């Protein structure tokens, strides 16, 4: 027993010290995911709740006031009054999703029994923002249709009440916070290859091998250190999610922690596989980049797998990060499942087993 524990804690402390004195690893481990959280948070919380509509009233009649009231009653529309030039400028700047112009003469045109061509409202939309432009166009034509029917004195026979349904109250922040945590855990593990190869290349591993320190202790201290960092990353990333973006953690903390540990260890084993094939620090750097980008972008952590081209979907369905992201989303914020939790655990465990065997077979100490 002494053989395994001797040096374990001092070596772990030494690894942690080496780690926090290295700015590059600090950046990738903490700053990078934080930047991601803040960036994603700002992008999504801006557009998530509704659409901003510029309201240009050139008529200024009781009828136009009434029409404005009808638009204002639509809960997902936020109206901003402006003159035409200012409204269009704001739309170009991106603060407005669409602009409605009510030309002078509306009040007159709405007099009951008046014939002739229909009075025209003008709707400006931006086709490059597809969701916003189609939704606003639909709302506007629905409203206009309703006004027409009311003027004709025909009561509507059919109406629709819209209700939203979500498994939990899952905001977009709640979707990406577990994803970014999964990404951070992946990078933490995969990037472990770089110091490992550097230590081998410089002869540090060989020097340790000349002491009674066992290799099992050496690996164990690496695992312990990475898990400590994983805990810290989790606290920071989830903390920002909770404080800044109103994410609530709903799942069992034990299950969440279990997946964080499983994920961290799986990707650390993958890091050891990389370290088995890379001979120099430079090649370890290159290889981790080559590995981490497909891991990240071919997995379902940043957008649902259904959005991927069909030929890529099978690739995503074997990526370990898909399942870590899925498991964390389910257990942390109650997100919809891509796979049941036992399958998530099984796929991650499979990757862990294969990586462990490969690195046990091919890892070189000197």
Partner 1 sequence: MSAMATVGDSVVSVVDLHKSYGSVRAVDGVSFEVTQGEVFGLLGPNGAGKTTTIEMLEGLLRPDSGSANVLGIDVTRHPEALKERIGVQLQTAALYPNLTVVELIDLFGSFYAKRRSSKELIRELGLEEREVALSRELSGGQRQRLSIALALVNDPELIFLDEPTTGLDPQGRRSLWDQIGELRKQGRTILLTTHYMEEAERLCDRVAIMDHGQILEMGTVNELVTRHFKERTVRFETRPELTDERLSGLSGVQRVAHESDETVLYTSQVPQTVGALLKLGDELGLEGLDLAVRRPTLEDVFIELTGRALRD
Q: Are residues 245 and 177 in contact, defined by beta-carbon separation less than 8 angstroms?
A: yes
Near partner 1 by CB under 8 A: residue from 206, 215, 279, 364: 206
Residue with tokens 């931006």: 126
| Minimum separation from the CB atom of position 310 to partner 1 (A) | 48
Interface map 214-233 toward partner 1 (x if CB under 8 A): x-------------------
Near partner 1 by CB under 8 A: residue from 160, 165, 210, 243: 210
Structure tokens at 197: 């190869």
Q: Are residues 98 and 54 in contact, defined by beta-carbon separation less than 8 angstroms?
A: yes
Residue with tokens 């081209």: 309
Structure tokens at 106: 């509306």
d(CA 171, CA 245) in angstroms, rounded, equals 9
d(CA 283, CA 187) in angstroms, rounded, equals 17
Segment 5-64, which members bind partner 1 (CB under 8 A)? Answer: 6-7, 9-11, 14, 17-18, 21-22
Q: State yes or no: residue 203 binds partner 1 (CB under 8 A).
A: yes
Between 8 and 343, CB nearer to partner 1: 8
How many residues in the shown chain lie near partner 1 by CB under 8 A? 26
Between 17 and 279, CB nearer to partner 1: 17
d(CA 289, CA 187) in angstroms, rounded, equals 10
Name the strand (E) or helix (H) holding 98: strand 98-102
d(CA 302, CA 174) in angstroms, rounded, equals 12
Q: How many C-beta atoms lie closer than 10 Å to residue 209's C-beta?
A: 15
Between 164 and 211, CB nearer to partner 1: 211
Q: State yes or no: residue 213 binds partner 1 (CB under 8 A).
A: yes
Q: How many C-beta atoms lie closer than 10 Å to residue 112's C-beta?
A: 7
Between 13 and 39, CB nearer to partner 1: 13
Between 110 and 197, CB nearer to partner 1: 197
Q: State yes or no: residue 89 binds partner 1 (CB under 8 A).
A: no
* Interface segment toward partner 1; rule CB under 8 A; list 1-9, 73-81, 299-307, 312-320: 1-9
**Residues in touch with partner 1 (CB under 8 A):** 2-3, 6-7, 9-11, 14, 17-18, 21-22, 199, 202-204, 206-214, 366
């Amino acid at each position: 027993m002494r053989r395994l524990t001797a040096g374990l804690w001092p070596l772990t402390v030494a690894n942690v010290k080496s780690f926090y004195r290295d700015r590059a690893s600090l950046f990738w481990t903490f700053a990078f995911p934080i930047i991601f959280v803040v960036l994603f948070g700002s992008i999504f919380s801006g557009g998530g709740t509704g659409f901003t509509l510029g309201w240009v009233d050139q008529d200024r009649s009781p009828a136009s006031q009434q029409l404005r009231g009808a638009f204002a009653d639509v809960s997902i529309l936020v109206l901003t009054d402006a003159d035409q030039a200012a409204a269009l400028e704001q739309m170009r700047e991106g603060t407005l999703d669409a602009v409605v112009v009510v030309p002078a003469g509306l009040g007159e045109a709405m007099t009951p029994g008046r014939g002739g061509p229909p009075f025209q409202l003008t709707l400006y939309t931006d086709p490059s923002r597809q969701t916003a432009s189609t939704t606003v166009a639909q709302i506007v034509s629905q409203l206009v249709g309703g006004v027409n029917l009311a003027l004709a004195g025909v009561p509507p026979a059919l109406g629709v009440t819209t209700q939203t349904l979500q498994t939990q109250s899952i905001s977009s922040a709640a979707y990406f916070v577990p994803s970014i945590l999964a990404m951070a855990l992946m990078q933490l593990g995969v990037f472990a290859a770089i110091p490992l190869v550097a230590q081998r290349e410089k002869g540090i591993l060989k020097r340790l091998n000349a002491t009674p320190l066992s290799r099992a202790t050496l690996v164990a201290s690496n695992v312990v250190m990475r898990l400590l960092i994983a805990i810290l990353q989790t606290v920071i990333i989830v903390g920002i999610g909770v404080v800044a973006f109103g994410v609530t953690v709903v799942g069992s903390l034990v299950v969440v922690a279990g997946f964080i540990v499983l994920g961290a260890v799986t990707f650390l084993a993958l890091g050891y596989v990389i370290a088995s094939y890379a001979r120099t620090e430079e090649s370890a750097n290159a290889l981790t980049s080559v590995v981490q980008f497909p891991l990240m972008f071919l997995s379902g952590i940043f957008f649902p797998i259904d959005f991927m081209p069909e030929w890529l979907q099978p690739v995503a369905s074997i990526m370990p990060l898909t399942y870590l992201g899925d498991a964390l989303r389910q257990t942390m914020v109650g997100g919809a499942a891509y796979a049941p939790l036992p399958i998530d655990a099984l796929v991650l465990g499979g990757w862990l087993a294969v990586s462990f065997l490969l690195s046990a077979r091919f890892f070189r100490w000197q």
